[in-house]
Amino acid sequence: MKEVLRSELKTNSKYDFLSELKKGRKSKRHDGKHLYDRIITAIIATEVIEKHGFDTAIEILHSGNNGENFFKLLDDKIGINEKNFNNKMKKLLK
């Protein structure tokens, strides 16, 4: 999965992961098999699970009716917020 986004970064070093995540299902970006927002979510979920376990990942994914607490919980647990999202994603792709 990471290779799909690594390839995107090779083409566009300023790729905006946060915007793509926020588009969600409305995203038009895909490699024919994967929607990019799903890959981004999977990478984040993997990081959360490795550091804090599955229950914490579920807590973050269900963080309010409209995800209003998503970035607060994500920042508290793995230090990812809206301001550093793109840089943190690049690090997770290494």
Number of H helices, E strands in the chain: 6, 0
Count of domains for the chain = 1
Residue 81 sits at φ, ψ, to 5 deg, of -135, 180
pLDDT of residue 29: 59
Give the residue from 81, 86, 55 showing the smallest Cα distance to 70.
Answer: 81
Q: 47 and 41 in contact (C-beta within 8 Å)? A: no
pLDDT of residue 77: 95
The helix (run of H) or strand (run of E) holding residue 88 is helix 85-92
Residue pLDDT, tens place only, 13-63? 899 999 888 877 555 555 555 588 888 999 999 999 999 999 999 999 888
- Per the structure, the complete domain to which residue 49 belongs is given by 2-92
- Tell me the whole-structure pTM to 2 decimals: 0.83
